[in-house]
Structure 1
Amino acid sequence: MSGIGRIVLQELRDRPNTTAEIAELCSISREDVLLHLRNLNNHVKRLLGYEQDAITVSSTGAWRADGIAGLLRLNSQVELEVVPKFLDESSTTWRLDFFLLAVLVKTGHLLMHDDITAGAQDRGDLATLIARSFLTLYADNQRRPIRGYKRVQRADYALDGDIEWETLVLPEPDGFRMSRLELTQQNPYNATLAAAVAVLIPEVTDGDTQAQLKAIARALAPQLPPPAIFPSLPQRHSAMQRVYDLARLIVEGLGLDLKGGTFAGPGFVLSTWSAWQSLCEELVRRALPDHKVIGQKRWLLGYRGTEPVYATPDISPLVGSTAEFLLDAKYKTRLERKPSISSSDVYEALAFLRAAEASQISLLYPSVRSVIDLPLGEWIEFDRVNVDSLAIEGFEIQVQGISRRGGFDDIVAGARRALIPKLNLP
């Protein structure tokens, strides 16, 4: 990927003169730059189900990303790295934080190893980080390759296998036709691993990483084409589950596959608000292991004629069939002199409380404070609305540094400290 320029955008923050900068970098007109951006926005809208453009341009040429984060290819010469608003683009760990979050959201479990941090910290792009993660996970299990028996047909004069007897009289030029079972690594699982390696090799910037990927490609060859639908990995190969899951994400492009013109490259992109919702649900589930934590539970609010009307908070921790309190993941606060809960969020929260017959709800927002002001995992209440006996709390949660050693455990512990006092313990 030498010669490819990288433009970094911080979500919800204007980046001045971006159109002109890209036009000069690519030696094309500003109109062509905007055309490339329109094509990219159309891809993102289709793949994430958005109605509005994820990246907008002002009249002065400033670019602004809203609702997405990750690595996107604009054209054959420029890629965009979009940093979520709750991660610091100046931090050396934001890519690690983002990748951990992306994999958690896409697979429901963590693939990150602590020892990847040391190897990836000084490699400044997401593609190389993902490749290093893949190499680490593959190396952990390469002594237990995914193999299986396959019936193969061949012709030979040395008899070894089940012979097609009619060829004994009239053998083919290459010998007698036989079929036999062979232990082979040609299967859809290894085909997925090989396809992931093929995607990564031209994308990484680090020579050593690229060489290791090529070694894996040689070890897996020859291989079948990747399957159109990825099959579940058999239980006997469960040790390879994490690297297989990651390979699927690489082949799928974490939701984005851009192809057109003279370039074809993967994108690693996710919806930021959806990712935040998934992360909050996972945190609450781990922080309250004794509760049944239900995501998107429908509570009956009332009726429209004879049709029921439901209210659906993001997170409902249950004791039996009742919720002691509710939680709802939010992404944007009302920005004035200080953050506050918007009126629409207050009305929605009241509907949740009434439907679930609960008395308190916590609205969870990603913190944009520095880790100096708010340490990893800490919750801070920034607003509170009381309506009779009902309480609506607005919390900021710090997740910067989630990928550091023990970082995820820190944010689970922070969630537990914040939530335990809300329980009606005996």
Structure 2
Amino acid sequence: MSKIERIVLQELRVRPNTTAEIAKLCNISSDRVMLQLRDLNTHITRLLGYEKDPITVSSNGAWRVDGIAGLLRLNSQVELEVVPKFLEPLNASWRLDFFLLAVLVKTGHLLVHDDISAGAQDRGDLATLIARSFLNLYAEYQRRPIRGYKRVQQADYAIDGDVEWESLFLPEPDGFRMSRLELVQQNPYNAVLAAAVRILIPEVADGDTQAQLKMLSHTLGKQLPPPAVFPPLPQRHSSMQHAYDLARLVVEGLGLDLKGGTFTGPGFVLSTWSAWQSLCEEVAKRALIDHKVVGQKRWLLGHRGDEGKEPIYTTPDISPLKDRTVEFLLDAKYKTRVGKNPSINSSDVYESLAFLTAANVDDIMLLYPSTQSVVDQPLGEWSEFDRVTVGKSVIRGFEVQIQGISSRRGFEEIVAGARRALVADCAPLT
């Protein structure tokens, strides 16, 4: 496999001369680079349901990314590593932070394993991090491999199984025809695991990890292609659920489609605002242990039409309920107003007022990912940067620091910071 060149982009930051740089690396024209980028944008928009291209190019060849992050293959020689705006590309641990968030969004649960980060700073490509995590998850429960029952037909003179009785009178040359159930390794679940391994092997940059994947491929044996619709893992194999979920993620999101000698991507990509929303909800659930935290709860705002029969609902991201009542609301936001000092966008203010009116509460906190360094704002800390008061309604904007979430007890630090910020708000605002 030829060496893959990596172009690092950070969300919402302009990277100058990118078109010319890629054209020189690949020894192709700038027009050819733009055609490849057009194809990549098309795939991403279809995958994530976006209406606008996430990667835009200015007239002088500068590139800008908005709304996505991850590992994207532009062609057979260049991959784009897109860093979310709330992670620092100069900090080598950003890939671990991103990977943890990606798995949370894609599978609905966190994979926090301290051993994943061992040596990861030197093996920093996302494919290798994913492969190491997958290998660790599989190794935990490899003594209980996924096996399924298969009815096997055979002929023998030693009876061991269900005999087809007509063959007792007219046996075949090899014996009596029988069928029996056998536990076999070839099944749709292992097919998904094996497909993930096959995808990862050529993508990882670390030789040791690649060798472990090849050993696992041999262990899984020959499998059929994975099914078009992934079957749920049987309850008896629930111990392998995390490994299976991660394998599905790889097969769905890391597959590189090789057509006509060019890669059409995308690779491992996610929507940044969606990732942030999922993280905020997960943190709130763990921080407010004495509340029932409901995501996307519908609140009745009013009715439409002369007769008022058509209801109008609003859906804040997070509604913490206690004794079936709500005392405050939380809403995950991604972008603040552009300027020297961050502030809450006017559209977010209007939307927040609708949330408060519908839920009949006075306090809502808007949660934005912090772009400050961990030196200025430690991991897990909430920093209020803006407050809007309309009558009794109070809308507050907070920056939340998550850089370092993949460090030892990093997620616990984020939950602890949320608990400190939120417990005080369980009482009426003063």
Settle same-fold status: TM greater than 0.5. Answer: yes
- What secondary structure, in the 3-state scheme, does the structure 1 residue paired with 2:285 have? helix
Deviation at 1:356, TM superposition (A): 0.7
Deviation at 1:300, TM superposition (A): 1.2
- Where does residue 99 of structure 1 map in the other structure? 99
- Where does residue 309 of structure 1 map in the other structure? 312
Conserved 8 A contact 2:40-2:266: no
- Where does residue 398 of structure 1 map in the other structure? 401
User: Which amino acid in structure 2 is aligned with residue 233 of structure 1?
Assistant: L
1:412 aligns with 2:415: yes
- C-alpha distance 197-139 of structure 1, shift in aligned 2 (>3 A): same
Conserved 8 A contact 1:43-1:258: no
Deviation at 1:166, TM superposition (A): 4.7
- Where does residue 297 of structure 2 map in the other structure? 297
- Where does residue 232 of structure 2 map in the other structure? 232
The number of residue pairs the alignment matches comes to: 424
Unaligned ranges ≥5, structure 1? none
Q: Deviations along 1:58-112, whole A, 9 cap, x unmatched? A: 1011111100000111111111111000000111111100010011112221123
How much identity, in percent, do the aligned residues show?
A: 75
Q: Structure 1 length normalisation: TM-score?
A: 0.95
- C-alpha distance 279-53 of structure 1, shift in aligned 2 (>3 A): same
- Where does residue 85 of structure 2 map in the other structure? 85
CA distance in 2, matches of 1:167, 1:160: 14
User: Which amino acid in structure 2 is aligned with residue 81 of structure 1?
Assistant: E
User: Which amino acid in structure 2 is aligned with residue 383 of structure 1?
Assistant: D
Q: Deviations along 1:294-343, whole A, 9 cap, x unmatched? A: 11111111122121111211111112332100111110001211101111
- Where does residue 137 of structure 1 map in the other structure? 137
CA distance in 2, matches of 1:172, 1:72: 59
Conserved 8 A contact 1:339-1:382: yes
Deviation at 1:261, TM superposition (A): 2.5
Q: Deviations along 1:102-143, whole A, 9 cap, x unmatched? A: 111122211231111114232020001100001111111111
Range moving further from structure 2, 114-123 or 403-412: 114-123
CA distance in 2, matches of 1:189, 1:357: 48
CA distance in 1, matches of 2:197, 2:158: 37
- C-alpha distance 174-94 of structure 1, shift in aligned 2 (>3 A): farther
- C-alpha distance 31-171 of structure 1, shift in aligned 2 (>3 A): farther
1:261 aligns with 2:264: no
Conserved 8 A contact 1:9-1:15: yes
Conserved 8 A contact 1:311-1:351: yes
Deviation at 1:260, TM superposition (A): 2.9
Q: Deviations along 1:217-257, whole A, 9 cap, x unmatched? A: 10111223212221221222121111111111111116x76
User: Which amino acid in structure 1 is aligned with residue 311 of structure 2?
Assistant: P
Conserved 8 A contact 2:380-2:418: yes
- C-alpha distance 173-3 of structure 1, shift in aligned 2 (>3 A): farther
- Where does residue 188 of structure 2 map in the other structure? 188
Q: Structure 2 length normalisation: TM-score?
A: 0.94
Unaligned ranges ≥5, structure 2? none
User: Which amino acid in structure 2 is aligned with residue 107 of structure 1?
Assistant: T
- C-alpha distance 119-189 of structure 1, shift in aligned 2 (>3 A): farther
CA distance in 1, matches of 2:81, 2:315: 33
- Where does residue 363 of structure 1 map in the other structure? 366
- Where does residue 383 of structure 1 map in the other structure? 386
Within 5 Å, give how 1:152-163 maps onto structure 2.
152-155=152-155, 159-163=159-163
CA distance in 1, matches of 2:400, 2:391: 27
Deviation at 1:382, TM superposition (A): 0.4
CA distance in 2, matches of 1:36, 1:107: 30
Conserved 8 A contact 1:120-1:132: no
Conserved 8 A contact 1:95-1:125: yes
- What secondary structure, in the 3-state scheme, does the structure 2 residue paired with 1:382 have? strand
- Where does residue 37 of structure 2 map in the other structure? 37
User: Which amino acid in structure 2 is aligned with residue 382 of structure 1?
Assistant: F
Q: Deviations along 1:132-158, whole A, 9 cap, x unmatched? A: 001111111111111232211234566
CA distance in 2, matches of 1:156, 1:54: 64
CA RMSD of aligned residues (A): 1.8
Conserved 8 A contact 2:2-2:77: no
- Where does residue 327 of structure 1 map in the other structure? 330
